[in-house]
Amino acid sequence: MTTITITRPDDWHVHLRDGDVLKDTVRDISRYMGRAIIMPNLVPPVTDTDAALSYRERIIAQGPQGNFSPLMVIYLTDNTTAEEIHKAKSSGHIYAAKLYPAGATTNSDSGVTSVENIRPALQALQETGMPLLVHGEVTTHDIDIFDRETVFLETVLAPIVEQYPDLKVVLEHITTADAVEFVTNAGPNVGATITAHHLMFNRNHMLVGGIRPHFYCLPILKRNVHQHALVAAATSGNPKFFLGTDSAPHAQGRKESACGCAGSYTAHAAIELYAEVFDDAGALDKLEAFASFNGPDFYDLPRNTDSITLTKESWTVPETMAFGNDEVVPIRAGEAMAWKVI
Ligand code: LMR
Ligand code: ZN
Ligand code: ZN
């Protein structure tokens, strides 16, 4: 039986949501992840230090497994001040700030309408060394949904990177060869997270033979050449690319509807999904750097010191999983997984 042991991984982009579902999302994320960057797009969004610290308390109150640590993030708005960024840094529990272009994704209505409005915050982030996390898509209605990431790189991100040369930037959940190229060619302070679902799937999986709403996420799945570029980047060993699941649960009924929510649930089997991708690419030896080294190195945090072991043993993902009083349909629902954490 094939077995691999890697340093305990972390998830550098996850949605745990809030309220009665938190017990379920915290159980899954803490099963073997050491730390996770917790996305702040709640209703209302986590726009200041006090809100982030109380959200952290609600997560910890669920009794996460192991020594799991939630790393909190504040949500940038047009009104975020430099003082708030400095306060967040001083709290010791907030590790980044998130740029959601207004209207780009779930609960982004309070997001940023123009980079001009966040210049004091960007300056403060650069001073504190806290990364700017970016949902990299333009929202302009006449830009095709498949082009929104690439246009964002050219029109929004390139100027930010040029104007704030020491700002740490994480381009979240990249989906295109263009994003791989952008991050590869930028300075060492620009990195990217890659989800398991963008590595495993392309738009054919979502659209051929019928629409599969559980594959609907943002940025949307692209054509297979982009998927292949993402797999090449993740398995390259380049330290700029690291694990961020963007596990983003929505109740089954909210996905399986005419205008369903964007987001796919992968926290139930995150490292197992990535292991399968790396195995299929003949690059299992690169999994540990991607999952356990590159993220903490980028964030200037220590790597985890303990380990987890995976074995190549088949198991079946449940059709649905508890999600508060509701249910979530996880990625791979009812299907076999190749790897298992033991
Ligand atoms: C995103 O990162 O854009 C989505 O995962 C948002 C969400 O909360 O479902
Ligand atoms: Zn996003
Ligand atoms: Zn997300």
pTM for this model (two decimals): 0.98
Annotated binding site for Zn(2+): 13, 15, 98, 135, 173, 246
Q: Which residues are annotated as a binding site?
A: 13, 15-17, 41, 98, 135, 173, 218, 246, 250, 262
- Check which CATH number belongs to the domain holding 256 and give it: 3.20.20.140
pLDDT tens sequence for the chain (342 residues): 699 999 999 999 999 999 999 999 999 999 999 999 999 999 999 999 999 999 999 999 999 999 999 999 999 999 999 999 999 999 999 999 999 999 999 999 999 999 999 999 999 999 999 999 999 999 999 999 999 999 999 999 999 999 999 999 999 999 999 999 999 999 999 999 999 999 999 999 999 999 999 999 999 999 999 999 999 999 999 999 999 999 999 999 999 998 889 999 999 999 999 999 999 999 999 999 999 999 999 999 999 999 999 999 999 999 999 999 999 999 999 999 999 999
Find the domain containing 152 and state its range: 3-341
Q: Which of 15, 25, 173, 198 to mutate to test the pocket of ligand 1 (most atoms within 8 A of CB)?
A: 15
Distance CA 188, CA 149 (A): 21
Complex ipTM above 0.90? yes
- With 0-12 / 13-18 / 19 or more C-beta atoms within 10 angstroms meaning exposed / middle / buried, residue 315 is exposed
Nearest to 272 by CA among 342, 172, 170: 342
Quote the number of domains for the chain. Answer: 1
Task: For CA atoms 162, 163, 166, 171, give the dihedral sign.
Answer: negative
